[in-house]
């Protein structure tokens, strides 16, 4: 049985599952949004910048051109190099922000969906 962790987007409270050993970016790609970067997945291009606001994770090697030591200490990371070890709450920043939020339900829509499913 594989373990999964729940990733929450802080801005919309939208959630998706990330399997053990899978990167946040790979799991995020299952949201099906246009413009989620494909190709690099190696911490080199910097398009998948996020900020981790809660939870534990393991981080692979990331380009210091995109994530400085100070930024990393403040929670910044590249989603393609983040392997969750618990549920995470993240903010999508930089170039990825517009793409991941395009077509996303608003916070109000999520609340409405939750209340109508009860």
The residues of the shown chain that bind ligand FES, judged by CB under 6 A, are 25, 37, 40-41, 43-48, 78, 80
Which residue's Cβ lies closest to ligand FES?
40
Going by C-alpha positions, the residue among 71, 65, 79 that lies closest to residue 36 is: 79
Closer CB to ligand FES, 95 or 110, in the complex: 95
Min separation Cβ 30 and ligand FES, Å: 15
Min separation Cβ 106 and ligand FES, Å: 26
Cα–Cα distances in Å, from 9 out to 2, 40, 67, 100?
A: 23, 22, 20, 10
Min separation Cβ 23 and ligand FES, Å: 8
Query: What b/e readout covers 41-53, taking b as 16+ CB neighbours within 10 angstroms?
Result: bebebbbbbbbbe
């Amino acid at each position: 049985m594989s373990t999964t962790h729940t990733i929450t987007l802080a801005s919309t409270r939208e959630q998706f599952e990330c399997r053990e050993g899978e990167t946040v970016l790979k799991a995020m790609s299952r949201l099906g949004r246009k413009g989620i970067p494909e190709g690099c997945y190696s911490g080199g291009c910097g398009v998948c910048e996020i900020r981790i606001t809660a939870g534990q994770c393991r981080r692979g090697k990331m380009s210091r051109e995109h994530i400085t030591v100070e930024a990393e200490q403040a929670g910044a990371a590249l989603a393609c190099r983040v392997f969750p070890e618990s549920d995470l709450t993240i903010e999508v920043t930089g170039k990825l922000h517009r793409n991941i939020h395009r077509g996303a339900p608003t916070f109000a829509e999520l609340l409405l969906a939750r209340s109508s499913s009860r």
